[in-house]
Amino acid sequence: MKKKKLRNSVKAVIIKGDKLLVVKKKDGISAYAVLPGGGQKKDETLKQALKREVLEEVGAKVKVGKLLHVREYFSEKSKFAYEDRALHQVEFFFNCELQEDYKPRNGKNPDTRQETVVWVKLNKLDEINFYPVILRKILRNLKNGDAPLYLGECN
């Protein structure tokens, strides 16, 4: 059995009015959308990692705010796992604000499967195949303040 890797990942929740900034991706099987973000590097704080990842993927500087959610992901339990990976990823979702006017675009170092960056209405997340699924409803109701911090192991 392959040795499992433990990895921290950060995600930016950027909401403007009733819209969420998402990264649209495509693999050999399907198209889907996710929040901007990625892996934390050695000697980086979570907030430093998030600022770097957002700049790389969407070309925007952000102010990192409150920690909203924590999720655990186990690749071997997911139908989306890469066949050659055994990964336990802990994801930290932070509320973020854009520091300047922004028009969606790919940053200078986007992920390999990244196609584009778009604003999506919160009530349309189901229509764009947004992951993690659990956040579709939570983000629509974020202003209510009753969302859980720890999401647990979920997709």
- Per DSSP, 43 falls in state T
* Residue 79: predicted pLDDT: 62
Percent of the chain with pLDDT over 90: 77
Higher-pLDDT residue of 137 and 3 is 137
Higher-pLDDT residue of 83 and 95 is 95
Structure-block tokens of residue 44: 């980086």
* Residue 24: predicted pLDDT: 98
- Mean pLDDT in residue range 69-88: 77
- Mean pLDDT across the chain: 92
Which residues, in sequence order, are CB contacts of 150 under 8 Å at separation 6+?
Answer: 69, 70
User: How far is it, in rounded angstroms, from Cα 18 to Cα 71?
Assistant: 24
Number of domains comprising the chain: 1
Residue 97, domain CATH:
3.90.79.10
User: How far is it, in rounded angstroms, from Cα 147 to Cα 76?
Assistant: 27
Residue 152 pLDDT level (bands cut at 50, 70, 90): very high
pTM attached to this predicted model? 0.93
* Residue 41: predicted pLDDT: 97
Tell me the residue range of the domain where 51 lies: 5-153
- Per DSSP, 128 falls in state G
User: How far is it, in rounded angstroms, from Cα 55 to Cα 85?
Assistant: 26
Which residues, in sequence order, are CB contacts of 139 under 8 Å at separation 6+?
Answer: 13, 15, 20, 122, 125
* Residue 155: predicted pLDDT: 79
* Residue 62: predicted pLDDT: 98
* Residue 52: predicted pLDDT: 98
10 Å Cβ neighbour count for 44? 16
Higher-pLDDT residue of 79 and 5 is 5
